[in-house]
Amino acid sequence: MERVAASLREKIMPAQQAAQFIKSQMTLAVSGFTNVSYPKAVPTALVQSGHARDLTLIVGAAVGDEIDGALVRAGLLKRRYGHQSNPDLRNAINGGSVLFSDIHISELPMNMNQKTGPRIDVAIVECTAVTEDGLYFGASAGSADAAVRNADKVIVEVNETLPMGLVGMHDIFDVGLPPHAKIIPINKASDRIGTPYMPCSPEKIAAIVLTREQEPAQKFKAITPATRKIGENVVQFIQKEIAEGRLPKNPGPIQSGVGSVGNAVLASLASSGFRGLSMYTEVMQDAAFGLLETGVLDFVSTSSVALCEDSRKRFYDHIEDFRSRIVIRPNEVSNHPEVIRRLGVIALNTPIEVDLYGNVNSTHIMGTKMMNGLGGSGDFARSGRISIFATESLAKNGLISCIVPIVSHVDQPEHDVAVVVTEQGIADLRWKAPRERAELLIENCAHPDYRPMLRNYYECACKNAADKHTPHDLAKALSWHQRFLDTGTMKG
């Protein structure tokens, strides 16, 4: 297969020329997910020219600095939708100069398809190849299919550094809209139900730009003794569920959020004796790739292959060996509650903080400072067979307790949180009344430095609250957060 079909070569042009299709106040939707396979050349040309301002940007999840950072620094971005992780963009959001609307990853493409938001003027997508049938995406899918489907014009960046082995690894399926939305016929992680390309009529393609710009490889924090212990505790919990007959010997597919805790948990599976497992997740990161190489995992369904440099090189060098063991899906399918519930996915995500009754804050530091966004954690937490939230018990070298009297912002309510794990232990919250949850979280998950403070707060709340089902002392519930803002520590 040629990277650009002969009939489309007349649309090839420099990035600077393609960028002229973008005008001020337009809405752009771009490919990319966890800084993988996002367009680079056209956004860079756009920043260099600076001719289009007050732009709205829609992204399935975080993209690289060429977009999220450079557009902000150039003063071109007005509004951003979807998960993000760039420090300059984060500062602009928290400073109020860029408006940000957070949303469940599975619902972003659905809302794009339902046209509940702004009209999409231009989609910019990175591809491995483009033919008359459509677009063969790079190492992620994200919401690129919805971007192409709903945009007035499409600009394609064909990245010639991407291995042609990516062609055929995707599974693009149009769910459709209610009341005629299609059943998604996935009964195991390895099922393929769609096409390997995103259909796109040649008439819709305004420009094709040839590039050789690679995104930086992923960087994850090294596994620490604390995160290693968290991984061991999660594996211990799963093994106990199997021993007691609540999970099969080879439990349902695993989902893991991005980050050091998720990598540590997956790494613990490698030494646990498990073999032949599968993943149904939104991001395949390094530890999962290693499990695929060693046979702990047989198959991975993902929306993005986000790897460190060494792992990415092994993946690209031996891509033919992985083509039958990896499928890359759009967000609307990878994170769809219907499939997550049917497959019995074991969901593993990392919170910022958890309160005494199991409510989870995944997005805001001290209640007001947005970090990255909700991402897909809620999609899996509310629909998974078991919803596990795993975190270290302390943050900022012990100045912050991750188990608090009340969370400063709620993303996942207690009803979507089944199990909480820290390096201290495991709190199985299923079937527990609120006060039973509080006892488990204090004794099993909180750090010893903060347990006396938590016990004191809880005992006072039980004594003084007018009602005893979910006792709180509202005058003191957020005092820990205020103390940190005032003094730099939660310790009293």
> Where in the sequence numbering do the catalytic residues fall?
282
Q: Phi-psi bin for 275: left (phi > 0), alpha (psi -120 to 50), beta?
A: beta
C-alpha distances in angstroms, 114 versus 104, 172, 178, 181, 264?
A: 15, 18, 9, 11, 38
279 forms beta bridges with: 254, 300
CA distance linking residue 86 with residue 43, whole number of Å: 15
Q: Is the peptide bond before 179 cis (omega within 30 degrees of 0)?
A: yes
Strands 99-101 and 134-137: unpaired
CA distance linking residue 185 with residue 314, whole number of Å: 32
CA distance linking residue 291 with residue 141, whole number of Å: 22
